[in-house]
Amino acid sequence: MPFWQNLLRLLGLSRADHLDLEVDAEMIESLHHLARRERRTEKELATELLTIALVQRGAAEVYLRRWQELSPREQQVTALVCLGFTNAQIANRLVLSRETVKTHVRNALYKLDLRNRADLRRALADWDFSTWQDAG
């Protein structure tokens, strides 16, 4: 049985749930190389990688839903935090008090279910906030 069919069976996908995966030779070679380096089977590694990807995708969808619940100002402040601006810089840029910025950051952290600015930056690290760079 080919590798990908074994993977699908391992994941519990029956023929009725057939999933057609297109994988190029370079990806298969990378999987083989990584499996050898980690002294694991390709099945174990592929299953783990797919699981990690699905978990990350699910988390991204959760953060997107939560992002949409932020007010426009909370989104703006959050984007600037993710771009590395300090509260003082955000306050100056948006003509707000530092306390107001702190409130927006605190509200965004609460709504996104995160503890601090570092968690916020990590959670949204793959997001492109470049269009917010010049917003003000």
CB distance 62 to 112 below 8 Å:
no
Average pLDDT estimate for 12-39: 77
CB distance 88 to 98 below 8 Å:
yes
CA pair distance 134, 38, nearest whole angstrom: 45
The CATH number assigned to the domain with range 69-132 reads 1.10.10.10
pLDDT score for 120: 97
Residues of the chain with CATH 1.10.10.10: 69-132
Widest pairwise Cα distance in the chain? 65
Side chain identity at residue 36, one-letter code: R
CA pair distance 55, 50, nearest whole angstrom: 9
On the question of pLDDT at 55 being above 90, the answer is no
pLDDT tens digits for range 65-110: 999 999 999 999 999 999 999 999 999 999 999 999 999 999 999 9
